[in-house]
Amino acid sequence: MTDFIPPYPKRHAVPLGPLDTLNHLRRDFLSIWPENAFERQFMSEKIINRRIFIANCPDVVRHVMVANQANYEQKSPLMRKMLAPLLGDGLLISDGALWQKQRALTESLFTIEQFAGYGDKMGQVIGACGQRWAKFAEGDIIPVLPEMRRLSAAISSRILFGAQLDERQAAQLGQCFTDYQAAAEQMDLNTLFGLPGWIPGIKANKTTKTAKVIHERIDKLIAEGGNSTAKNTLLAQLLAQQQAGSKQVLTRGQVRNELITLFMAGHETVANMLAWVWYLISQCPTVEQRLHDEIAAVLGNRPAIFGDVAKLHYTRAIIKETLRLYPPLPILSREAKAEDTIRKRHVPAGSTMLVVPWLLHRHKLYWEKPDHFIPERFLPDAKVVPNKFAYLPFSVGPRACVAKHFAMVETTLCLALLARQFRLRVPSGQTVTHECRLTLRPKDNLLMQISRR
């Protein structure tokens, strides 16, 4: 067990006033919380003229995300506004009958039978990344977050489009998504919190232009994919469902939106998570050593296959603990369709309901040593099993991440295969801190020194 407490933003002794809250929100979504937000169970804040509810304990999270989910199915309208230019009516922001149809189709792309094939492709892409890293000189400084974005873009691209894009083209496509997100994140957080529009909003022009570039690229890939004989890509599977003429069919435009949604949803989240993991293990020699021992025992020097993931218990525990401390999506936002009563409190129709993994994952009632990095708490023989409504990096209920098992396989293989070859260290004198807008990531690209093992 380690005694390492990784950095987190200052917590305020008393709740901030409305103007201070807005000032903090402009810089960082995680710096607004007072100390007692990590102890309270159901909160309601008035920011400007709007009441916001925060589900901050397992039973209320269960109510919002599962039991009365139909009332909280809609993503906040402004979140949809932010993502719609890129995703159209894609799965992440759709609802109702369309969401059900898209969800069923997308789930069919992530069944357990497909994972062996996905694992092989991931292994090849990670191997290519290892070959590229091997060209760095001992002690070179590399920007870990962009490197992880490049890796996750290459994996998503291989799974979605097969060999249609090479690694450089996949990186370029990934960069377009990063640019879109950067432009969309310029929108203020009043978007997430449903606040009035007088604070400058989303940079509509930049997002529209970037979305257009992405749409054109994906349309071209669909046209080429339609003519290709490659059958085992997600693109081919979506097109095949279209040709099969089933009732569940998506239009060509919807196929495009789904491909874009899958790329976007998996790109930044996976990259952020992997960047944090490199930082965390670099600070804890005992964790790193145990990781190396497990990789040597399970994999030796042979290529990894999907079946190895289940045996890499400690590697997965490190990943789960990283997702607890730094959930890539730290705030989930919903809108109440109809009025509701929760813990005897009236929740008016149209209220914003937040479920905040950032708070729940460090909540003093549900975690021992909540701010410590302790991968052992996620080992199969851990004494306390984390409450699934207090640990939700992939969310929970019908709208939970459709690719959560895929993401666990992907991140486990990335960590195991790269940590087998390389070690990364934070250069002395450099401090690591976070940045949080829509997603939570290390600030300033996370520069680290690479060395071979």
**Positions that interact with ligand HEM (CB under 6 A):** 75, 91-92, 103, 261-262, 265-266, 269-270, 273, 323, 328-329, 332, 393-395, 399, 401-403, 406-407, 411
Least Cβ distance, residue 205 to ligand HEM (angstroms):
26
Cα–Cα distances in angstroms (integers) from residue 330 to residues 186, 337, 361, in the given order: 18, 23, 9
d(CA 378, CA 2): 14
Q: To the nearest whole angstrom, how small is the minimum distance from the Cβ of residue 165 to ligand HEM?
A: 16
- Of 3 and 113, the one with the shorter C-beta distance to ligand HEM is 113
Pair type for strands 352-355 and 50-55: parallel
Q: How far is the CB of 289 from ligand HEM (least distance, A)?
A: 25
Nearest residue to ligand HEM, by Cβ distance, number only:
266
Q: Which of 358, 174, 184 is nearest to 270 (CA)?
A: 174
Rg of the Cα atoms in the chain: 22
Beta pairing partners, 124: none
Q: Compare residues 336 and 402 and give the one whose CB is closer to ligand HEM.
A: 402
Nearer to ligand HEM, 122 or 450 (CB): 122
> Length of the chain, please?
453
Q: Please identify, using beta-carbon distances, which residue of 109 and 183 lies nearer to ligand HEM.
A: 109
Asked if 154 and 167 touch (Cβ cutoff 8 Å), the reply is: yes
CA distance between the termini of the chain: 24
Minimal distance, residue 168 CB to ligand HEM, in Å: 21
Least distance to ligand HEM, CB of residue 449, Å: 25
Whole-number Å distance between alpha carbons of 160 and 396: 25
Relative orientation angle of helices 144-161 and 234-243, to the nearest 10 degrees: 30
- Taking the least distance from each CB to ligand HEM, the nearer of 299 and 356 is 356
**What is the torsion angle, in degrees rounded to the nearest 10, for the CA atoms of residue 267, residue 273, residue 279 and residue 283?**
-160
Least separation in angstroms between residue 20's CB and ligand HEM is: 27
Question: Based on CB atoms, which residue is closest to ligand HEM, 103 or 217?
Answer: 103
Min dist CB 181 to ligand HEM, Å, is 14
**Reading across the β-sheet that carries 332-335, which strands appear in turn?**
42-47, 50-55, 352-355, 332-335
> Please, what is the minimum distance in Å from the beta carbon of residue 64 to ligand HEM?
11
- Taking 3-state DSSP, the helix, strand and coil percentages for the chain, each rounded to the nearest 5, stand at 55, 10, 35
291 contacts 280 by C-beta, under 8 angstroms: no
CB-nearer residue toward ligand HEM: 91 or 238: 91
Rounded CA gap, 119 and 433, in Å? 32
- Rank residues 23 and 100 by Cβ distance to ligand HEM and give the closer one: 100
Choose between 265 and 347: whose C-beta lies nearer to ligand HEM. Answer: 265
Bridge partners for 357 per DSSP: none
Nearest to 211 by CA among 88, 77, 76: 88
Q: How far apart are CA 398 and CA 421, in angstroms?
A: 39
CB of 149 to ligand HEM, least distance (A): 13
Smallest gap from Cβ 36 to ligand HEM, in A, equals 25
- For residue 256, the minimal CB distance to ligand HEM (Å) is 14
In this structure, are residues 28 and 36 in contact, taking their beta carbons and an 8 Å threshold?
no
Smaller CB separation from ligand HEM, 320 or 363: 320
Residue found by looking up tokens 């680290």 in the block: 448
Q: Give which of 147, 141, 129, 146 is closest to 449, Cα–Cα.
A: 141
The nearest distance, CB 440 to ligand HEM, in angstroms, is: 10
Residues 6+ away with beta carbon under 8 Å from 426: 279, 282, 283, 432, 448, 449
Beta bridge partners of 205: none
Closest CA to 232 of 159, 171, 300: 159
